[in-house]
Amino acid sequence: MNIFQRKSHMIRRQHKWWKFAKDWFSPQHSFRLVIVAAVLITVGSLSYIGQWANYLQLGYRTQTLIKEKTALEKKIALLEIEVSFLTRLERLDRIATTQMDMHPPSPAQRLILFSKNTDENE
């Protein structure tokens, strides 16, 4: 035999979903609801503005790095041209004969050296 055949009226109404909404939207709590909504909107707006500012800063930094990269690539190309100009054999030969007063070696000054390992292998 069940002693509690019927649920109490208070227990049935105790866990209703509209109780929370009814309390929050009542005139006593409407100011609290407005404050909470304003705080949430402010925090959301500030986080959005912060992310957008970070995005713009990264964009500007990327543009400056791209400009630096192209300037350095142009500088590298010019330096490679200068290196190839300065290491030409005709130019070095002219500098050696005119400025350093050097002359090509005579046949008596030439000496051909062979190592023992290369003679045995051939």
The domain segmentation of the chain, as residue ranges, is 17-102
How far apart are the C-alpha atoms of 31 and 25, rounded to whole Å? 9
Can you tell me the mean pLDDT for 90-103?
Answer: 87
Question: Which residue shows structure tokens 């290369």?
Answer: 118
How far apart are the C-alpha atoms of 72 and 79, rounded to whole Å? 10
Total-model pTM: 0.48
How far apart are the C-alpha atoms of 99 and 88, rounded to whole Å? 16
- Average pLDDT of the chain? 82
CB-based contact 36:44 (threshold 8 Å): no
Can you tell me the mean pLDDT for 14-30?
Answer: 67
Which is higher by pLDDT, 29 or 37? Answer: 37
Can you tell me the mean pLDDT for 93-113?
Answer: 84
How far apart are the C-alpha atoms of 39 and 46, rounded to whole Å? 11
Which residue type does 93 have? D
